């Protein structure tokens, strides 16, 4: 009997028939990621999304920063960055190469192999989580999804959100996880203005709803992040982010209360902290200030607190730290009032200059800045308030502009309040010209002894 000979391609055909479709899709996706031919869309071109999109493009992926704000998209397409950590000259070569683009057209989502969601997650008026931006992004994505796509959420949320909310929402549309899509969570770790740690060299934590989702997400992030840390689940990754910022919020709350106690005891808070920090073990210095600012530290712990309330547990440390930190602007205004009173002046009618209004040093971001609360409280007391901040050229509260002024007329103000210690300010010259300075950031350290009757600290 003649030997049977099969066509040379029959074995490959049979393998394809036996191999699960999900496995073929995964292999195809991983192959495109490895070859840098995968297309990436980052939803949200803000302080988190834009630096991430730029890093993806630098790694060789065709990357689109999607944002609904047409003015942002137009600026990026023109090569103009509005984010301090992304210089405009970094955009030019990426735009020229075609690796980076910006768009306000949601149709770009249908072209993506990987979609990374970086949208705001604020609190509502009752300090409950507002995940509407995430859900809007998913609603926009659903009718445009194609098989297979990797979806990664970076926006901070409560433990369980990716698994309990996103996964069912995608599945309810008839999509099957590990066949039609892969789902992961990787908490953003952006520190605006940090000269050392950026997207590329900040370790990245990744958790997913399935092993395949974790494999896909790890493959993508390892292409442009030096150190990637896988964890067992998306819930774990969500909790990691909340622990990081709860740790900071609670310790800042502690040191803010220490500042209040030192004030009552007649002690220099900063001297106490500096001396304690000399201990080489068992102590990590945190520093007081006019309150918490930015989009993470004042907000993220309350996501965790809210989640625990649903499980009938009261997160007492978080709530107490929030109370102390939220009260600091009022404490600062009290310091201003007492200092003016010692000079036979009232807050009402006094000209007060806030030096620095962004929430942290050397950036222009005023989100949740405690300086805004200080301004509002001073104005309620009848003060005439102006500000100086080279990083914030314009400022308005409730639509009402706040006057901006230079530091060449410091002597015209009854009091200067240092609420953000930008490095571009000569604080010794400022103090030498000012009538009174309330320093909430230890910016006058080193020369306070020269002006003992002019400087008040926390």
Q: Say if residues 64 and 107 touch (Cβ distance below 8 Å).
A: no
**Signed CA dihedral, 449, 428, 404, 327: sign only:** negative
Amino acid 198: pLDDT: 94
**pTM of the full predicted structure?**
0.90
**Signed CA dihedral, 396, 400, 406, 410: sign only:** negative
Q: From its phi and psi, is residue 244 left (phi > 0), alpha (psi between -120 and 50) or beta?
A: alpha
Residue 374 to residue 291: CA distance in whole angstroms? 9
Span 270-299, pLDDT tens digits? 999 999 999 999 999 999 999 999 888 999
How many other β-carbons are positioned within 10 Å of the β-carbon of residue 375?
A: 25
Residue 148 to residue 32: CA distance in whole angstroms? 12
Amino acid 24: pLDDT: 59
Q: pLDDT below 70 — which residues of the chain?
A: 1-24
- Helical H segments across 5-126, by residue range: 10-18, 21-35, 49-58, 70-77, 88-97
Going by their DSSP bridges, the two strands 149-153 and 114-117 should be labelled as parallel
- Show the domains of the chain with their CATH numbers: 14-232 (3.40.50.720), 252-457 (3.40.50.720)
Of the chain, the end-to-end C-alpha distance in Å amounts to: 99
Tokens of 116: 């990374």
The neighbouring-strand residues paired with 351 are: 384
- Helical H segments across 298-347, by residue range: 300-310, 316-342
Q: Say if residues 443 and 427 touch (Cβ distance below 8 Å).
A: yes
Q: Say if residues 207 and 238 touch (Cβ distance below 8 Å).
A: yes
How many other β-carbons are positioned within 10 Å of the β-carbon of residue 74?
A: 12
> Residues with catalytic annotation?
296
Name the DSSP class of 177: B
**Among all chains, which residue has been given the structure tokens 């992040």?**
225
Residue 130 to residue 444: CA distance in whole angstroms? 39
For 356-367, b/e burial (b = at least 16 CB within 10 A) is bbbbbebbbbbb
C-alpha 346 chain-centroid distance: 38
**Among all chains, which residue has been given the structure tokens 């002046």?**
345
């Amino acid at each position: 009997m003649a030997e049977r000979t099969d066509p040379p391609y029959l074995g490959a055909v049979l393998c394809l028939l036996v191999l699960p479709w999900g496995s073929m899709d995964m292999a195809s996706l991983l192959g495109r990621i490895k070859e840098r031919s995968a297309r990436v869309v980052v939803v949200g071109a803000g302080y988190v999304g834009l630096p991430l999109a730029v890093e993806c493009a630098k790694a060789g992926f065709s990357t689109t920063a999607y944002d609904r704000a047409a003015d942002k998209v137009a600026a990026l397409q023109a090569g103009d960055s509005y984010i301090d950590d992304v210089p405009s000259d970094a955009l030019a070569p990426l735009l020229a190469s075609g690796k980076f683009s910006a768009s306000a057209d949601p149709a770009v989502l249908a072209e993506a192999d990987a979609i990374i969601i970086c949208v705001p997650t604020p609190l509502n008026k009752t300090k409950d989580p507002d995940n509407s931006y995430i859900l809007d992004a998913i609603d926009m994505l659903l009718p445009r999804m194609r098989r297979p796509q990797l979806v990664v959420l970076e926006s901070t949320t409560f433990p369980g959100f990716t698994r309990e909310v996103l996964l069912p929402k995608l599945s309810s549309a008839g999509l099957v996880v590990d066949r039609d899509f892969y789902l992961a969570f990787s908490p953003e770790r952006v520190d605006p203005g940090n000269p050392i740690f950026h997207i590329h060299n900040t370790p990245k934590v990744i958790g997913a709803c399935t092993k395949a989702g974790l494999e896909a997400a790890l493959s993508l992030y390892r292409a442009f992040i030096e150190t990637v840390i896988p964890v067992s689940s998306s819930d774990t990754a969500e909790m990691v982010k909340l622990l990081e910022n709860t740790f900071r919020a609670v310790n800042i709350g502690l040191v803010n209360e220490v500042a209040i106690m030192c004030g009552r005891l007649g002690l220099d808070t900063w001297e106490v902290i500096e001396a304690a920090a000399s201990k080489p073990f068992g102590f990590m210095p945190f520093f007081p200030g006019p309150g918490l600012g930015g989009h993470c530290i004042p907000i993220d712990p309350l996501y965790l607190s809210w989640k625990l309330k649903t499980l009938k547990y009261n997160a007492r440390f978080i709530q107490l730290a929030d109370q102390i930190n939220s009260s600091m602007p009022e404490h600062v205004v009290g310091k201003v009032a007492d200092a003016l009173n010692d000079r036979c002046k009232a807050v009402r009618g006094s000209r007060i200059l806030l030096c620095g209004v962004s929430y942290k040093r050397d950036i222009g971001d005023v989100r949740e800045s405690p300086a805004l609360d200080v301004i509002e409280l001073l104005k309620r007391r009848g003060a005439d308030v102006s500000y100086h901040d080279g990083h914030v050229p314009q400022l308005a509260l409730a639509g009402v502009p706040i006057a901006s002024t230079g530091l060449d007329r410091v002597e015209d103000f009854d009091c200067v309040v240092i609420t953000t210690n930008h490095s571009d300010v000569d604080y010794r010259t400022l103090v030498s010209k000012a009538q009174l300075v309330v320093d909430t950031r230890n910016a006058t350290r080193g020369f306070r002894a020269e002006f003992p009757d002019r400087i008040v600290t926390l």
